[in-house]
Copies of this chain bind each other. A is one copy, B any other.
Amino acid sequence: MSNAQRQMSIGMNILGFGAHAAAWRTGEVPPTAYLDVGYYQNIARISERGTLDAIFLADGPALAGDVGRQPAGRLEPTVLLTAVAAATQRIGVIATASSSYNEPFNLARRIASLDHISGGRAAWNVVTNAGDAAAQNFGLAGAPLHVDRYARAEEFVDVTLKLWDSWEDGAIIGDAASGRFADPARVHAIDHVGRHFSVKGPLNVPRSPQGRPVLVQAGSSEGGKALGSRFADAIFTTQTTLADGQAFYREMKQRARQWGRNPEHLKIMPGLSTVLGSTEAEALERFERLNSYLGEGGLLRQIAQRIGVDASELDPDAPLPWQRIGPVNEFEKGSHGFLEAQLNLARAENLSVRQLSRRILVGHRLLVGTPEQVAASLEEWFLAGAADGFNIMPDSFPSGVEIFVDEVVPRLRKRGLFRHEYQGSTLREHLGLPYPASQYEHPAAASA
């Protein structure tokens, strides 16, 4: 590997059957594959063959969607990704979990355990979970206010980092002969007392291979950006135009600097959905076959739902009904910025509703095309200062990840943008992040 060339990071986002809402209907896998650990292990193994940085699982603690018309529910990510880690050697595993509906001691411990089990490949994607359905599974009538969820998230992350740091590096002596196991002076109560949590510690899991498992964040609201730029190692984001991607990238790097961080240690990873074919025609054919399950009406309804208008208000061949769409408020920015990103794309390219319905999947930028076109677009964003890497969302699994790994990855390698083999063994190493010191480490303790 040339040291001169900056390398991109790639995460594979396993969204059930794929990013296309009809992916479960193609017969590629059975309709219950999303409950089968082997389905995920297979996708992870293919991704690992492509030396991708990580696989990623989104999550929320409530049954979402219409169970009558879509596979609904999902296996819990920390548990599922442990089984995936057991079936792989190098690829990172990024588990989404809620800071609003967990206790920091429990979650810090599970992620640290996954880090031990995976040999340093674990990450936690912090989400606060908007929406009432999740709240109603945890004793609340509705979701806490955005500002309160983010205040809790900030304290949750702070407690989590303290717990992960509570065993210093080298605290374990492990001298069986003398019976000395650890240096108690290097295992710290954290004695956290805050507005949301009081946690004594130390964690009951010794420091894990990455020191601190990787932190991922995906909020696009002010609260989300503040949290992510301060604590996250990687930001997943929705950006649909290069200009927006560049602006977001600049803003987040600047925010990281303001927190006193090295901006290179905050990786910006926009999402990209892909529908790939050997030729453009083949890709379009693949896409239209998937779309045919939904029909034009179904595609229209997807747009209508995202924008929050009735489908009957949309004319497929006209632009979006801008007069019906107000400015995007902070709450709407919260859900990964999906709404704003779509509106920006439609406005920037003056798209009709029908055109827009073919440029977006699950709220993210979509490319329907050849491996060469996808590789070129990734390169463009990467070199133009809009991305350090990408969160890839293929239309349908496992074929979508197979084509990406077999056809796109070699083209990125040829361009000198992506590793030919893993250079390290931990997710931090894949992402080019330094090993973090424990906040409790100090010269006195270290020499004690």
Identify the stretch in A66-74, A243-251, A313-321, A353-361 within 8 Å (CB) of chain B at 4 or more residues.
A66-74
Bound CA–CA A177/B133 (angstroms): 30
Nearest residue (CB) in B for A83 is: B86
Bound CA–CA A76/B183 (angstroms): 23
Complex contacts, A27 vs chain B, CB 8 Å: 176
- A147 within 8 A of partner (CB): no
- A30 within 8 A of partner (CB): yes
- A384 within 8 A of partner (CB): no
Identify the stretch in A98-106, A232-240, A329-337, A342-350 within 8 Å (CB) of chain B at 4 or more residues.
A98-106
Complex contacts, A140 vs chain B, CB 8 Å: 198
Task: State whether A176 touches B31 (Cβ < 8 A).
Answer: yes
Bound CA–CA A316/B337 (angstroms): 71
Complex contacts, A327 vs chain B, CB 8 Å: none
Complex contacts, A284 vs chain B, CB 8 Å: none
From 107 to 135 in chain A, residues with beta carbon under 8 angstroms from any chain B beta carbon are 109-110, 113-114, 116-117, 133
- A413 within 8 A of partner (CB): no
Bound CA–CA A338/B184 (angstroms): 28
Interface of chain A, main secondary structure: loop
Complex contacts, A103 vs chain B, CB 8 Å: 101-102, 138
* Neighbour of A26 across the interface among B26, B30, B68, B176, CB < 8 A: B176
- A35 within 8 A of partner (CB): yes
What number of copies of this chain does the assembly contain? 2
Given A68-B182, A83-B117, A109-B61, check contact A30 B174 (CB 8 Å): yes
* Neighbour of A69 across the interface among B62, B102, B180, B202, CB < 8 A: B180
Count chain B CB atoms within 10 A of each CB in A37, A63, A69, A102 and give the residue with the most: A63
Complex contacts, A198 vs chain B, CB 8 Å: 136, 139-140
Given A35-B206, A37-B86, A83-B86, check contact A105 B61 (CB 8 Å): yes
Bound CA–CA A182/B36 (angstroms): 17
Nearest residue (CB) in B for A198 is: B139
Complex contacts, A114 vs chain B, CB 8 Å: 79
Task: State whether A67 touches B138 (Cβ < 8 A).
Answer: no
Can you list 30 A-B pairs with a CB-CB distance of less than 8 A? A26-B176, A37-B86, A37-B117, A60-B204, A61-B106, A63-B187, A63-B202, A67-B181, A67-B182, A68-B181, A68-B184, A69-B179, A72-B187, A73-B204, A75-B117, A76-B110, A76-B113, A78-B78, A79-B82, A80-B117, A82-B82, A83-B117, A86-B87, A101-B105, A101-B106, A105-B138, A136-B198, A136-B199, A137-B201, A140-B198
A contact residues vs B (CB 8 Å cutoff) = 24-27, 30-32, 35-37, 60-64, 66-76, 78-80, 82-83, 85-87, 101-103, 105-106, 109-110, 113-114, 116-117, 133, 136-140, 167, 171-172, 174-177, 179-184, 187, 197-206, 293
